[in-house]
Copies of this chain bind each other. A is one copy, B any other.
Amino acid sequence: MCELLGMSANVPTDICFSFTGLMQRGGETGPHKDGWGIGFYEGKGYRAFHDPQASANSEIARLLQGYSIKSKNVISHIRQANRGKVALENTHPFARELWGRIWSFAHNGQLKGIKQWTLPHYQPVGTSDSEHAFCWLLGTIREEFPKPPTQQRQMHHFISQRVGELAQLGVFNCLISDGRSLYTYCSNRLVWITRKAPFGPAKLIDADVTIDFTHHTRPDDIVTVISTQPLTSNEQWQNMAKGEFSVFISGGRVWSKIASRPCS
């Protein structure tokens, strides 16, 4: 299995603290040593860092833990390979362009039979189930909406239906973003926390690091972090329900739906 980390914020925010916790699980406090990746949206731009090495030993991961990239949407992933060899092309997040925006995707789980699904548009570079699922999902969005829909709600409905179909194939916890919205689907394991005023201290579970967000935020900041498991020991993380699809924009959960039949 793998672990996911996502962030949605109303102001450009760095994710160094949460990322530091997650990276330890890639070979140090956890077994997810088969590569890692993180993608940051900065304005319209997107940049990702990938490494097929264990994150706990990665020089690039070490740099990023202290390198403040300010972003409103972030997706990160550490991998424990099950399908698809350990290789750069199989590290998440995967990214493709649609309507002049970069869409990114990371996944935890396995999807039995996904490779039989026809891909109308985007093709995988690697051999993972996850990238195949992403190519399928984005291709269906493109077919349904040759241009961006005028109502965001149309998009929420459409994606919630498609990810529900994917989840029928197995375990499908995922994070998807187009740089504006952060779409999440919980097949069996995702937790989240929204930090806003009054801010307080937070202590990582996986490293001896404590931060007092009071000194790093402004009163109006709203930052939601989504993760496979809680990253801090002194805060109250909320569990997502099985089959829950939620959309976060600017740190707030703006849309949510729980599938009536989350697993096959």
Contacts and interface: CB of A to CB of B under 8 A. Distances in A.
B88 A47 contact: yes
When all copies of this chain in the complex are counted, the total is 2
A122 B100 CA distance: 8
Interface string A119-142: 000111110000000000000000
A87 interface: yes
A43 interface: yes
Given A45-B87, A125-B101, A60 B50 contact: no
Given A63-B59, A63-B63, A88 B125 contact: no
Interface string A73-106: 0000000000000011111000011011110000
A237 interface: no
Given A63-B60, A63-B63, A42 B88 contact: yes
Contact of A102 (B42, B45, B125): B125
Interface of A: 42-52, 59-60, 63, 67, 87-91, 96-97, 99-102, 122-126
